[in-house]
Amino acid sequence: MSRYYFLSDVHLGLQVGDPQGRERRLVAFLDSLGPGTGGVFLLGDLFDFWYEYKYVIPRGYTRVLGALARLTDRGIPVHFFAGNHDCWTFGFLENEIGLIVHRDELYIELDGKHFLLAHGDLMGRVKPGYRVLQKIFRARFPNLLFRAIHPRWAFSIASEWSRHNRLSKGIRYEYKGEEEPSFRYAAQYPYPVDYCIIGHIHSPARCRLPKGGELIVLGDWVSVGSSGSVRADVGIFGGAEEGKVEVIEAPVVVHLD
């Protein structure tokens, strides 16, 4: 049986915590994936901000992009879900790195189990204002206007906004189960769902669905958990415990001087 890996909300480039350590940790994890890997699913906000101009891509992330390219060169499918921070990919990740880009949810069967996968921010009846804002962000005309801004200023504005947004958040959000739009959406999905896996909320949770499946919210790679270290959740399906999804914390990379 192949093994499949799921992760979300790494927020590469966010100048909070240890950005370099976060990148090293991700690269080490990707490079550790063995020949039995059936696929990798990046469930949104891999980057804290990603925007492709015609001839310009964001500075940095070289090691991560190289690690992802090494996986696709080995024939391992790597699925990239556009999140609310990194939805502006226009061909580079697909054509140069070999990623499979999803702009909507994905319903897929893996080794006999049915998975519903998404970033999670647009699942179900979310706040109308947020949905409208996301449509504007993704619309053609606003993107034409944004591209008219020099990348130096565009990336500076976006990075500062994201950093301020992260630091301004107060009490850690707790997933409310049946009250959440994503839970209701998965519970009422018209096809069988063994596992619905999402991110976006930055707070891990596992909830049973009424029809017997399970909804899993992955923790992010930024927030500090109860152990005092950054969680860096990775969901794993296949391998030792057949038919189950296990959530682990990615190993911490230690560099000795």
Q: How far apart are CA 211 and CA 146, in angstroms?
A: 44
Instruction: Classify residue 155: in a domain, yes or no.
Output: yes
Number of folded domains that form the chain = 1
pLDDT of residue 173: 75
pLDDT of residue 154: 81
Work out whether the CA dihedral 126, 122, 7, 59 comes out positive or negative: negative
Instruction: Classify residue 196: in a domain, yes or no.
Output: yes
Evaluate whether 115 touches 109 at the Cβ level (below 8 Å): yes
Evaluate whether 121 touches 83 at the Cβ level (below 8 Å): yes
Q: Residue 236's domain is classified under what CATH number?
A: 3.60.21
Instruction: Classify residue 256: in a domain, yes or no.
Output: no
Instruction: Classify residue 169: in a domain, yes or no.
Output: yes
Per-residue pLDDT of the chain (257 residues; tens, 9 = 90+): 799 999 999 999 888 888 999 999 999 999 999 999 999 999 999 999 898 888 888 888 999 999 999 999 999 999 999 998 888 888 999 999 999 999 999 999 999 999 999 998 878 777 777 677 677 777 777 777 777 788 888 888 777 777 666 655 555 678 888 888 899 999 999 999 999 999 998 889 999 999 999 999 999 998 876 666 788 999 999 865 567 899 999 987 655 44
Instruction: Classify residue 254: in a domain, yes or no.
Output: no
Q: In the block, which residue shows the tokens 């880009």? A: 101
- Side chain identity, residue 176: K
Q: How far apart are CA 12 and CA 100, in angstroms?
A: 19
Instruction: Classify residue 255: in a domain, yes or no.
Output: no
- Domain assignment of residue 22, given as a range: 3-249
Instruction: Classify residue 19: in a domain, yes or no.
Output: yes
Q: What is the pTM of this model?
A: 0.89
Instruction: State the CB neighbour count (10 A cutoff) for residue 234.
Output: 21
pLDDT of residue 196: 97
pLDDT of residue 227: 63
Evaluate whether 94 touches 103 at the Cβ level (below 8 Å): no
Instruction: Classify residue 233: in a domain, yes or no.
Output: yes
pLDDT of residue 129: 76
| Largest Cα span, the chain | 55
Q: In the block, which residue shows the tokens 């930055």? A: 202
**Main-chain dihedrals φ then ψ at residue 236, nearest 5 degrees:** -130, 130
Residues 6+ apart with CB under 8 A from 41: 4, 5, 6, 7, 79, 81, 117, 197
